Chain A
């Protein structure tokens, strides 16, 4: 049984999502919240398997809510729901700790499919998100190579295995192919690896993104202080 929590301010959509989950045999809606701050307080104790999170919430944004809860919920998968096809905001949410997103109107069957898929380790990455990922790691990489010593470490010498700010060569290949529009299956063929390995690379890219952006948030907070 997959336990699911819903954070959605629109009562109509929240109700429909709850009903969809109630009908599914393998899912159980354990909590529903109409605002981000209550959700951020209550969710860590509930530890649901999957959290469906609206991006536009009335108090704190869905992105902020994800940033608050995701470090406390390493085992929960967060799927963003958005009426708005706004790739920049979606990317922020993914960087903050979400693993996927669905653009509304989400058909009930698609919603359940996405929940099941993410529980089975499948993480999607659209071309526009991949594009943002490349931009992000370029900035992160150059920001890291620049300061401290006058002699900057060339990017090529940074060991990607030990460094979260840099994508490994295979990860880079995967993300570049995604930007061009290749599907996981096509990438598997192109790089001669299994489709599961492609999914693993994508998951690792997301993890690096989370670690990296969390560090960025911490850095920002300590600068403020």
Chain B
């Protein structure tokens, strides 16, 4: 009974996805492949196709022609609120040169997507201000500026720039020199292919992509535009004969107003996860490079049908007969449970991607910011070395400590969240890395006893994180109280049981006194963590005999919960 139950449960997780309806035939747009949960489906342009699959992941591989003036967009109606562009970017580049004009540094500011208030004609669109700064690298004597439409392959789009200012602030911060770099005068300034002073378009491999346009007003303002209609070539606006003198340590700031709509032509893959039952339509459209629709659209209707209705009814019916129960209440209850389970499974894929995303965001934003705080406060602390007996020094030290610990916690959380680490081997690597680094800052030596051939065992982020935090707490106690000279860390696994030992040769303590003097207050939290993951903690210690903590946890197969 139990087995058959689980089989039926698993089947019920399958959702039925029906691709139906007639795809509008637009010759230039091709759908190369539809993949649903890893299986391929042929794409007939006529007639419906029926697919039975788990609607966890939908992947569409499609393309438009790679021709001048054509851009490809797509959307899944029912999910995407607006047209989506395959990723592409244009960029503004500052290059730093030494006295021989050799490049000694460069920085790119990528420009992506579409600005709010885009109105196809770039000169009529709303412009958005932007500001970027950089410290001038050593040996620099001058800087130069380029605006490039060269991003991804098959990239197209339109970019307009206005009010470009280059600001140089020397290290003393007293005076800022400003260079206005707009295209204000030059030859044939009323024409798109005019030549403004200081700006040169010859470095791109299709010069006429670089254009001049005019923002309307009582006094029309000429602006620099990259009108990249060519998927294979690119255009540049490069500053020439306008030296921007800089010196090491200067802070340079570039400000400008931008309006843009940047996308791609060619081939692209769109992916969707966790589609709920309902009606959808996948659309791919060819538009002009500035986003003007051309009406050339392909549509593939998609219907995600709630999973296996009939089998549920059959199952519920059979179960009812077998159990001799006919109560409607029972039906409703079981069915709701199944629906919940199903929804849960649909979320699993989405969840995994979400875990990856959170890990990345934490790492990029919070981790980097804390790193900066830690580095700067360390520096301030060194600067304060001269001021003896100053309370400020102590406070800066606390900022540094706190930032470092937070950075370390973020690192651990990132590691715990990332599903790529759900494995015993990677756990071992991380444990060694983190503990050797932690103990490396002390005089305590460390010995590892971890077999080179650990069994491949999946461990969930929850178990990994808790085990790791218990070990860290144990090492903390050793460093703080044990007066130890050596720590031994053992890790092994057999029959799905992970065994971890942390042992020191320090002073030990009397268990009965735990907590009364404030030491080893972490012990109960360590026990709690082990209980949370269904594991046990053994503590062996005596005054003068060192401390040994042994952890054991049973890892059920597939404990990470994601197939």
Interface residues of chain A, those whose CB is within 8 Å of chain B, are: 10-16, 18-22, 28-35, 38, 42, 45-46, 56, 58, 83-88, 90, 103-109, 126-129, 131-132, 134-135, 179-183, 186
Q: List the 8 closest A-B pairs by CB distance, nearest first.
A: A105-B374, A128-B432, A87-B429, A83-B367, A181-B446, A128-B433, A12-B372, A10-B368
Chosen A-B contacts, 27 in total, with CB atoms closer than 8 Å, are A11-B133, A12-B368, A12-B371, A16-B376, A20-B379, A30-B104, A31-B105, A32-B135, A38-B108, A83-B368, A83-B410, A84-B363, A85-B430, A87-B432, A104-B371, A107-B375, A108-B378, A126-B437, A127-B432, A127-B446, A128-B428, A129-B433, A131-B452, A179-B450, A180-B448, A181-B445, A181-B448
Query: What A residues does B430 contact at CB under 8 A?
Result: 85-87, 128
Query: What A residues does B102 contact at CB under 8 A?
Result: 45
> Given A12-B372, A32-B137, A126-B437, A105 and B432 touching (CB < 8 A)?
no
Identify the closest chain A residue to B410 (Cβ): A83
B-side interface mostly: helix
Name B448's contact: one of A16, A104, A127 (CB within 8 Å). A127
Query: What B residues does A135 contact at CB under 8 A?
Result: 452
In the assembled complex, the Cα of A90 lies from the Cα of B437 at a distance in Å of 14
Across the interface, do B108 and A105 meet the contact criterion of CB distance under 8 Å?
no
Query: What A residues does B434 contact at CB under 8 A?
Result: 85
> Given A13-B371, A22-B249, A85-B430, A126 and B106 touching (CB < 8 A)?
no
A-side interface mostly: helix
**A-contact bits for B81-102, CB 8 A (1 contact / 0 none):** 0000000000000001000001
B426 within 8 A of A: yes
B43 within 8 A of A: no
B128 within 8 A of A: no
In the assembled complex, the Cα of A181 lies from the Cα of B440 at a distance in Å of 10
Across the interface, do A33 and B106 meet the contact criterion of CB distance under 8 Å?
yes
Name B137's contact: one of A10, A31, A83 (CB within 8 Å). A31
In the assembled complex, the Cα of A152 lies from the Cα of B428 at a distance in Å of 33
B134 within 8 A of A: yes
A10 to chain B, nearest CB (A): 4
Query: What B residues does A28 contact at CB under 8 A?
Result: 138-139
Tell me which residues from 115 to 155 in chain B have a Cβ below 8 Å from any Cβ of chain A.
133-135, 137-139
B203 to chain A, nearest CB (A): 15
Query: What A residues does B249 contact at CB under 8 A?
Result: 22
Query: What A residues does B378 contact at CB under 8 A?
Result: 107-109
Query: What A residues does B107 contact at CB under 8 A?
Result: 32-34
Tell me which residues from 149 to 180 in chain B have a Cβ below 8 Å from any Cβ of chain A.
none
Across the interface, do B138 and A16 meet the contact criterion of CB distance under 8 Å?
no
Identify the closest chain A residue to B171 (Cβ): A22
Across the interface, do B375 and A126 meet the contact criterion of CB distance under 8 Å?
no
Across the interface, do A126 and B105 meet the contact criterion of CB distance under 8 Å?
no
In the assembled complex, the Cα of A14 lies from the Cα of B523 at a distance in Å of 40
In the assembled complex, the Cα of A121 lies from the Cα of B249 at a distance in Å of 30
Name A180's contact: one of B138, B414, B449 (CB within 8 Å). B449
B253 to chain A, nearest CB (A): 12
Interface residues of chain B, those whose CB is within 8 Å of chain A, are: 96, 102-108, 110, 133-135, 137-139, 248-249, 363-364, 367-372, 374-376, 378-379, 382, 403-404, 407, 410-412, 414-415, 426, 428-430, 432-434, 436-437, 445-450, 452, 489
Query: What B residues does A131 contact at CB under 8 A?
Result: 428-429, 432, 450, 452
Identify the closest chain B residue to A106 (Cβ): B375
Query: What B residues does A108 contact at CB under 8 A?
Result: 375, 378-379, 382
User: Besides A18-B137, A42-B106, 11 other CB < 8 A contacts?
Assistant: A10-B364, A10-B372, A34-B107, A56-B364, A85-B437, A87-B430, A87-B432, A88-B429, A127-B446, A129-B433, A182-B447
Name B248's contact: one of A20, A22, A45, A132 (CB within 8 Å). A22
Across the interface, do A13 and B372 meet the contact criterion of CB distance under 8 Å?
yes
Across the interface, do A16 and B372 meet the contact criterion of CB distance under 8 Å?
yes
In the assembled complex, the Cα of A131 lies from the Cα of B367 at a distance in Å of 27
B431 to chain A, nearest CB (A): 8
B91 to chain A, nearest CB (A): 9
> Given A33-B105, A84-B367, A181-B436, A16 and B248 touching (CB < 8 A)?
no
Query: What A residues does B446 contact at CB under 8 A?
Result: 127, 181
Query: What A residues does B372 contact at CB under 8 A?
Result: 10, 12-13, 16
Most chain B beta-carbon neighbours within 10 Å: one of A10, A13, A104, A129: A104
Across the interface, do A56 and B363 meet the contact criterion of CB distance under 8 Å?
yes
In the assembled complex, the Cα of A20 lies from the Cα of B371 at a distance in Å of 14
Across the interface, do B137 and A30 meet the contact criterion of CB distance under 8 Å?
yes
Query: What A residues does B415 contact at CB under 8 A?
Result: 84-86
> Given A22-B248, A107-B375, A32 and B105 touching (CB < 8 A)?
yes
Identify the closest chain B residue to A10 (Cβ): B368
Query: What A residues does B134 contact at CB under 8 A?
Result: 11, 15, 32
Query: What B residues does A12 contact at CB under 8 A?
Result: 368-369, 371-372
A135 to chain B, nearest CB (A): 7
B108 to chain A, nearest CB (A): 6
B518 to chain A, nearest CB (A): 29
In the assembled complex, the Cα of A87 lies from the Cα of B369 at a distance in Å of 22
Query: What B residues does A32 contact at CB under 8 A?
Result: 105, 107, 134-135, 137
Across the interface, do B407 and A105 meet the contact criterion of CB distance under 8 Å?
yes
> Given A10-B368, A22-B248, A34 and B108 touching (CB < 8 A)?
yes
Across the interface, do B375 and A20 meet the contact criterion of CB distance under 8 Å?
yes
Query: What B residues does A182 contact at CB under 8 A?
Result: 445, 447
Across the interface, do B445 and A16 meet the contact criterion of CB distance under 8 Å?
no
> Given A38-B106, A186-B445, A16 and B433 touching (CB < 8 A)?
no
Across the interface, do B371 and A19 meet the contact criterion of CB distance under 8 Å?
no
In the assembled complex, the Cα of A84 lies from the Cα of B371 at a distance in Å of 11
In the assembled complex, the Cα of A29 lies from the Cα of B445 at a distance in Å of 36
Query: What A residues does B403 contact at CB under 8 A?
Result: 105
In the assembled complex, the Cα of A17 lies from the Cα of B437 at a distance in Å of 21
Most chain A beta-carbon neighbours within 10 Å: one of B137, B410, B452: B137
Across the interface, do A88 and B135 meet the contact criterion of CB distance under 8 Å?
no
Across the interface, do A13 and B135 meet the contact criterion of CB distance under 8 Å?
no
In the assembled complex, the Cα of A189 lies from the Cα of B138 at a distance in Å of 43
> Given A103-B437, A107-B375, A108-B375, A85 and B137 touching (CB < 8 A)?
no
Query: What A residues does B248 contact at CB under 8 A?
Result: 22
A192 to chain B, nearest CB (A): 19
In the assembled complex, the Cα of A131 lies from the Cα of B451 at a distance in Å of 10
B459 to chain A, nearest CB (A): 15
In the assembled complex, the Cα of A127 lies from the Cα of B436 at a distance in Å of 7
Name B138's contact: one of A22, A33, A88, A129 (CB within 8 Å). A22
Most chain A beta-carbon neighbours within 10 Å: one of B249, B368, B407: B368
Most chain A beta-carbon neighbours within 10 Å: one of B96, B379, B407: B379
In the assembled complex, the Cα of A106 lies from the Cα of B371 at a distance in Å of 7
